[in-house]
Structure 1
């Protein structure tokens, strides 16, 4: 795991070495083990690398040079040993045992087609001197970030915004501006999905895609090197369990690394329990970590402890202490470099900060819900269809003051569902995927020049199969929520602690296998993730089969209405908002106070406002 960056310009840049070094410095937490740069003799090209050494730590330094190209990459190629053997059979010789050299030889042999052969998480930059092109590629899930800026004079890329901005502020002379489209999507989703960033002129490479940039003209073209196979169900229950067993074992075996102290984020749910089972078989020295919050009596730390004891694995329960959280909250939120409102990042950060002196590799069950249909929101079209016939009646009573209902979990769940019912299953999925503010509210709270009807993601949504709501929802989550939310959290919070984070459920083979499963094996009679739960039952006794999963929740509603309330009100007071020039000051200030009357019902909206204002106050000013 590392941080990469680079600059290519049409004219020499005298300060190129200093710019690359400064970009490297911004990425120091991503790679504390090595700091390297490469500059061409004309000072028109530069690449930088901060390395967290995992594979072949003593060699394979980057940037890596071959006769006709130079490359840097962040991440891990899990199938590099198999590729290495394939390339050796083709006559290639190797001087290291690293995945970096395998990637270099793979590019030498297959060119950009080599990306199709890679199983792993990666962000790759290759300058091909012979073709006079720059290639920027990103793995199929978007686990590793890659930002870029390009104009008619130069292109800059980096693993994090902070690295890119360091050089852009010097070369561009103009301050970057906030993107109205990204701003609107942030308040709808709580995060900013690719290809957007919070800044209008800076973009992200999309998952499973590479950019090809002509170094004579800086013209860009994009190529998809992998696409999800079409939904072609043909597995029965018995076949599915056999294949699942083989693929999960294979993915864990590929990703396992016994050369460094490793940890498993054990939530107590079935996903991490399955991983724990196979780690017991393949790496029994692994340590398991769970989070416990005093404010949440339904945390899963005790269930996780039961699993660890059954398997004989080391287990540690980490307390979520708000006093400690508050000390680091600003640094935690600002490490994302752009607004980000998934409160589970606090839990992730707490765990990684706790273990950072002892652990270099962390594993988690992330992605299993997207791959195998685990979210309750995937049931939305099924629930909605049962009551859609009553929509005219519901609309006739929609004038009732529903906001006056009690601020309870049951009522809030009902209201969330009620508000998202559309006219058809496709519309249900579109609505339920956006848990933040609706367009009507945003148009009321934002000043006119910040109002924007987002269309980038609507076009993407329409490319997915509209006649299969479950596949539609899963593909949407893979391309948008997984890349923009879940994997942003795991990457940034692990990298803040200089820890590599791996996700065995996000293998290419498991994604492709999931498209062969009938919907009835993903969701059956209201049971989500059905086939994975059935597989779990083959590994653990019946007493370990659990009810509703709680997850790593943090009590943000309580915090926002108590300890953080004063700061939230300060960040949304009329004077602050007027100087900011983004919101209708009086309406936003009033809306926040309204939300605070029922903080549990409106915790997502409150938290997204708080996180945006914290970002703006600390980064922009």
Structure 2
């Protein structure tokens, strides 16, 4: 895993020193090597985390004739198979790196080569002969890619703060992007929370030349017409899923020149991936877990169960309220977005533990909930559909009580609230019926905003993601529509970004996600909905597929989402100085985002009883703190680790080559 950046201009020479500064800003993503390649009108940069072919995989990497240059962040896990195919077509290789496979694949198939890649990547190809830049991002959005276009010039980078290295770039929060965060929990590509900064959407390719920028999809999530799934046989589907997940896990565990560890959360998904590694390989396994000193959030007993079952070398990080508060400013700086939960902070501490123990790579269970129907939002939608068929039935109250057995304040114990929440908007014809209640409740956060920002947001149109759903979705099962929305919004924008890539790469650790393997995703999408969500039992087919590898205590365990303490982290055990600073009248006025009187009231309430905060107040508190930190760090400040310039280790000047002449 790495950091990539660059600038292409059709009007002027590109400042190579500026791109060198951009590379420096990405050092945490790739501390092992760094370089820039300088051409007329184009400079590419790379900061490398070396995992495959340490000696031969240095980047940016050029083709044999010097006409193509690639800077690549991520992994193409099927690079071995692609290399053999390309050899059969006459290509000659000088390294065993996956990056050289990307170069030859582009030579052979052009930009459509990404359709053949199975992995997680963001890449840039500078095609000197055609004088064009090609950008691409993996199907699910595992790896980030941001860009800024100004006239006939484009700058791109793995992180926003890298684009802010250029002091001429506007640094301000965008009302439209903020409105998306306070509706969908994250921005939906191509939007970001920063004015003039865009992100390439997952599954898309962008081409930039002297005529401008063109962005096209090369992949999109698809589901079969209800009742037209490839197989209706549960055992057959469970066997196919097991084979696909096993193959994906082995690819991610074995294709590295360095040892690979695994996360164990205590839940089903990481238990499956860790058990698969233990069962399908002969390698020793080291595992890593987060534990909480707050018992409400701790999953330690289930983690220990898997460690004993698998016999792994295990490491844990014990996270307290104070630990979350101490690292939260750094977490926000790395996330580059307002947060509605403190959950990324323990994952930052977990990746730091991984790195401190000498590991660069971990396999995790991320993605299973999205592709196999594991989230509460899917189960809530099932109850809402049930409710809509007979709103007056008392059985509906009982169904609500089954949803959150892990939650102390279970809405099933409050029938009036349950009816208002599950009965409202229960329209089976609404494509986004599953998500509109969550989006509506999240939008309540905007009541905290300053009048000026509220007015600006009211005048800002934000498209409903459901409007982008394919026309064929009319014939999908409701679960499929809910999955499509989750994969289009929360997965790339929050789960894989704020909780994933950013918290891992902040400590120079690569995460690998077998459940987001291309074959696994496409197989899962073709399964009947009832095999994924059987009644209210989530990930039914996954449990069936791995019943012999996962202890029954975990298989039968009620779904409990990963959570961390929110408001109590900042108020229950003492208030950090930075909290008072970012919520001061001066800081609030400078940012202009929140109403100071409302923030003062919320802070006072948190000082008195943060432990009894409900869902909305928790989100309000974390939203205020994270947004204020974001303004201080990336709008007022540069967001960079250090001032000044550290030169890249290599500078390759290709301006005087024969091809250029």
TM-score, L = length of structure 1: 0.90
Partners of 2:74 and 2:511 in 1: CA distance? 10
Aligned twin of 2:195:
200
Partners of 1:417 and 1:568 in 2: CA distance? 37
Partners of 2:387 and 2:576 in 1: CA distance? 39
Q: Secondary structure, in 3 states, of the residue corresponding to 2:435?
A: helix
Provide closer, same or farther for how the CA distance between residues 355 and 430 of structure 1 changes in structure 2, counting only shifts above 3 A: closer
Aligned twin of 2:593:
582
Q: 1:466 offset after TM fit, Å? A: 4.5
Aligned twin of 1:280:
278
The answer on whether the counterparts of 1:380 and 1:428 sit within 8 Å (CA) in structure 2 is: no
Among residues 582, 596, 599, which one is paired with 2:613 in the alignment? 599
Partners of 1:50 and 1:609 in 2: CA distance? 33
Is 1:126 the equivalent of 2:125?
yes
Provide closer, same or farther for how the CA distance between residues 163 and 297 of structure 1 changes in structure 2, counting only shifts above 3 A: same
The answer on whether the counterparts of 2:465 and 2:485 sit within 8 Å (CA) in structure 1 is: no
Partners of 2:370 and 2:150 in 1: CA distance? 36
Cα deviation 1:206-261 (Å, max 9, x = unaligned): 001001112x23x1111211222332413210111110121011101211236313
Is 1:528 the equivalent of 2:538?
yes
Provide closer, same or farther for how the CA distance between residues 549 and 526 of structure 1 changes in structure 2, counting only shifts above 3 A: closer
Aligned twin of 1:10:
10
Partners of 1:603 and 1:260 in 2: CA distance? 40
Provide closer, same or farther for how the CA distance between residues 230 and 410 of structure 1 changes in structure 2, counting only shifts above 3 A: closer
Q: Secondary structure, in 3 states, of the residue corresponding to 2:258?
A: coil
Is 1:479 the equivalent of 2:488?
yes
Aligned twin of 1:225:
218
Aligned twin of 2:462:
454
Partners of 2:21 and 2:288 in 1: CA distance? 35
Q: Secondary structure, in 3 states, of the residue corresponding to 2:291?
A: strand
Provide closer, same or farther for how the CA distance between residues 321 and 543 of structure 1 changes in structure 2, counting only shifts above 3 A: closer
Provide closer, same or farther for how the CA distance between residues 368 and 30 of structure 1 changes in structure 2, counting only shifts above 3 A: same
Aligned twin of 1:437:
443
Higher relative contact order (CA 8 A, sep 6+): 2
The answer on whether the counterparts of 1:570 and 1:576 sit within 8 Å (CA) in structure 2 is: yes
Q: CA RMSD in A?
A: 2.7
| Structure 1, unaligned runs of 5 or more | 395-406
Partners of 2:445 and 2:301 in 1: CA distance? 41
Length, aligned pairs only: 600
Partners of 1:179 and 1:268 in 2: CA distance? 38
The answer on whether the counterparts of 2:241 and 2:524 sit within 8 Å (CA) in structure 1 is: no
Matches within 5 A, 1:502-521: 502-521=512-531
The answer on whether the counterparts of 1:195 and 1:205 sit within 8 Å (CA) in structure 2 is: yes
Larger mean CA deviation between 586-595 and 255-264 belongs to 586-595
The answer on whether the counterparts of 1:191 and 1:342 sit within 8 Å (CA) in structure 2 is: no
Provide closer, same or farther for how the CA distance between residues 595 and 319 of structure 1 changes in structure 2, counting only shifts above 3 A: closer
Partners of 2:598 and 2:266 in 1: CA distance? 43
Partners of 1:439 and 1:317 in 2: CA distance? 35
The answer on whether the counterparts of 2:538 and 2:559 sit within 8 Å (CA) in structure 1 is: no
Partners of 1:463 and 1:440 in 2: CA distance? 32
Partners of 1:436 and 1:196 in 2: CA distance? 18
Q: 1:200 offset after TM fit, Å? A: 2.0
Q: 1:88 offset after TM fit, Å? A: 1.0
Aligned twin of 2:404:
none
Aligned twin of 2:258:
260
Is 1:616 the equivalent of 2:631?
yes
Q: 1:569 offset after TM fit, Å? A: 6.1
Provide closer, same or farther for how the CA distance between residues 322 and 507 of structure 1 changes in structure 2, counting only shifts above 3 A: same
Provide closer, same or farther for how the CA distance between residues 560 and 424 of structure 1 changes in structure 2, counting only shifts above 3 A: farther
The answer on whether the counterparts of 1:464 and 1:475 sit within 8 Å (CA) in structure 2 is: no
Q: Secondary structure, in 3 states, of the residue corresponding to 1:352?
A: helix
Partners of 1:350 and 1:277 in 2: CA distance? 24
Partners of 2:56 and 2:567 in 1: CA distance? 49
Partners of 1:149 and 1:470 in 2: CA distance? 36
Partners of 1:118 and 1:160 in 2: CA distance? 23
The answer on whether the counterparts of 2:591 and 2:628 sit within 8 Å (CA) in structure 1 is: no
Provide closer, same or farther for how the CA distance between residues 413 and 6 of structure 1 changes in structure 2, counting only shifts above 3 A: farther
The answer on whether the counterparts of 2:190 and 2:199 sit within 8 Å (CA) in structure 1 is: yes
Q: 1:316 offset after TM fit, Å? A: 2.2
Q: 1:159 offset after TM fit, Å? A: 0.4
Aligned twin of 1:400:
none
TM-score, L = length of structure 2: 0.85
Partners of 1:412 and 1:590 in 2: CA distance? 30
Q: 1:447 offset after TM fit, Å? A: 3.7
Matches within 5 A, 1:33-182: 33-40=32-39, 42=40, 44-66=41-63, 67=65, 68-167=67-166, 169-170=167-168, 172=169, 175-182=170-177
Provide closer, same or farther for how the CA distance between residues 292 and 417 of structure 1 changes in structure 2, counting only shifts above 3 A: farther
The answer on whether the counterparts of 1:138 and 1:208 sit within 8 Å (CA) in structure 2 is: yes
Q: 1:543 offset after TM fit, Å? A: 4.5
Q: 1:341 offset after TM fit, Å? A: 3.2
Matches within 5 A, 1:488-499: 488=497, 489-499=499-509
Provide closer, same or farther for how the CA distance between residues 565 and 361 of structure 1 changes in structure 2, counting only shifts above 3 A: closer
Provide closer, same or farther for how the CA distance between residues 539 and 606 of structure 1 changes in structure 2, counting only shifts above 3 A: same
Partners of 1:298 and 1:209 in 2: CA distance? 37
The answer on whether the counterparts of 2:567 and 2:618 sit within 8 Å (CA) in structure 1 is: yes
Q: 1:584 offset after TM fit, Å? A: 3.8
The answer on whether the counterparts of 1:209 and 1:223 sit within 8 Å (CA) in structure 2 is: yes
Partners of 2:564 and 2:151 in 1: CA distance? 46
Aligned twin of 1:404:
none
